[in-house]
Amino acid sequence: MADVVSPEVRSRMMAGIRGVNTKPELMLRKGLFADGLRYRLHVRSLPGKPDIVFPRFKAVLFTHGCFWHGHDCPLFKMPSSRREFWEAKILRNREVDARSEVGLRDLGWRYGIIWECALKGKSRLPFPNVIAQCSSWLHSNKPTMEIRGAR
């Protein structure tokens, strides 16, 4: 199916998508704060500049957009135009994610990933369950956590 907007307009639209303070991230932060958890945001000194940092637990959370990180879920569809560009971009994002995870692990930090599909769309999970899973993981000593939408 052909795009309904010109390439210039599409480029401007895609460039306007934020990398920080996204809706899923804000939603998660509000839920965690309401649950009594305190955190820091986007700590530049840590690998990957995590979205939410819990120094007390030596743990971080990333909120990954399913499109930008090429998640295998209903929210991700590879664009049909400029396919090579998008495949390379998503591959680079995944490589950066992997390097960040290794860097955090090497520094003794735990990391969790909350996928966008867990918070929106048909596969979303009940929000209180997502917050409870995050809280439970933070209070545990498990090295990693991943929350994805229902299958």
Q: What is the pLDDT of residues 80-131, one digit of tens each?
A: 888 899 999 999 999 999 999 999 999 999 999 999 999 999 999 999 999 9
The pTM for the full model equals 0.87
Residues 54, 33, 146: CA angle, nearest 5 degrees: 55
The verdict on whether 69 is a catalytic residue reads: yes
Considering only residues 143 and 83, tell me which one the structure prediction assigns the higher pLDDT: 143
Instruction: Express each pLDDT in 33-66 by its tens digit.
Output: 999 999 999 999 999 999 999 999 999 999 999 9
- State the pLDDT at residue 125: 97
The verdict on whether 106 is a catalytic residue reads: no
The verdict on whether 51 is a catalytic residue reads: yes
Q: Under the phi-then-psi rule, with left for phi > 0, alpha for psi from -120 to 50, and beta for the rest, what region is 114?
A: beta
Annotated catalytic residue within 69, 72, 106, 144: 69
Rounded-to-10 torsion of CA 22, 24, 26, 32: -150
What is the second-level CATH architecture of the domain 18-147? Answer: 3-Layer(aba) Sandwich (3.40)
- State the pLDDT at residue 74: 87
d(CA 75, CA 66): 6
Q: Helices 23-34 & 127-139, crossing angle to 10 degrees?
A: 70
